[in-house]
Amino acid sequence: MSFKGKILIGDSSREIEANKNRDIVANYNENLDIELIECPAPAKTTKVDWIGFAGEAIAMKQLLSLVNTQYATFCGDDDFLIPDALIDCAQYLEDSDNYVAVCGNRLEFGVKDDRVTGDITWVHLVEHTKLNAATAVSRWSAYSARAISPIYCIMRIEDWLKAYEDFEKVRLRYIGSEFLPSSIIAISGKMGYIDRLMIMHQHHEDRILDWNKVNFYSILMHSGWSNSVNNLRNVLASAIAAKDMIPLEKAEEEFDKGFWGHFSAHLTSQYASVYQNNQGHNQNFILTVCSFIRGLRDKAISTNKSSDFNLLESLLKPSHSYNQDFMSVYDLITKTDD
């Protein structure tokens, strides 16, 4: 293994799984510099406790405090990063002071029968939400309208710390743990892009944003909602106003427009998923809105299976520019037992 960087793993597992993870890290530590950090998990397991716990943000801030390099990136437990692409992104930042983040291209793939390893049956390109506009309000508006998180990027450590600086004020799942830091990144400055494969994300049917895990209506009904959303408004509007040097009232209007649209889109989508009959409501309107926000709900994933399969065939050919990087992950998934 040629990767020489530091790997920090935040682990909120308990008992048996935690012991397994320690053994795995010990096994790989012979060739990699890995540190396993115990991170907090919800004290209870009810849906209300889960919604009111921004665990990944707590872990992220804890891990960021231990970083002693100039640049860092985030990797989820179903993500595969291409080391050479990370180096290229860091070099881009090294040469470009007017960018706060840089990212390569991202592929999403699925495995037969939704297993961890096995035959990869489809691959598609996930298009970034372009966050390279000149103004903070334009970048944030683009993110809130199509919330593909920019945390999958290379950033300077001071910008990472800034992104998570105020998350304790918004202690709700997703709103505090993803939407807030992603918004701060978008507001802070422009994101650059390189035409190289950097991330491969494994799709699972049991998704985090499934309605029965992050039910936006339950977030709305949570006792911490009012205080959290007011704090979110204050933090983001203040950041926009300061960055673009506009009146706070104008920045608050922009927040209201963007967040209202973002949250209501999720509410409408999840309502249609839970209550299929939608009695007493305009079914055509519901279907129209759901169609419009499908890209947001599914993180802009294409449903064209033929196109996805054709991309997989193309990536398997040595002539494809992503082939070498793609094959390293492809072989790991298809030639490894669960």
Supply the pLDDT for residue 286. 45
What's the rounded Cα separation, in Å, for the pair 285 and 34?
51
Supply the pLDDT for residue 85. 95
Supply the pLDDT for residue 221. 87
Supply the pLDDT for residue 158. 96
**DSSP class of 141:** H
Supply the pLDDT for residue 56. 78
Which phi and psi angles does 74 have, rounded to 5°?
-110, 140
Looking at the DSSP bridge assignments, the partners of residue 199 are 81, 106
What's the rounded Cα separation, in Å, for the pair 77 and 192?
25
Supply the pLDDT for residue 190. 96
Q: How many residues does the chain have?
A: 338
Could you tell me the domains of the chain?
1-38 (no CATH), 41-334 (3.90.550)
What's the rounded Cα separation, in Å, for the pair 244 and 255?
14
Supply the pLDDT for residue 297. 43
What is the 3-state secondary structure of 96-116? Answer: CCCEEEEEEEEEEEEEHHHCC
The model's pTM is: 0.86
Residues of the chain short of pLDDT 50, as ranges, are 280, 285-304
Supply the pLDDT for residue 4. 80
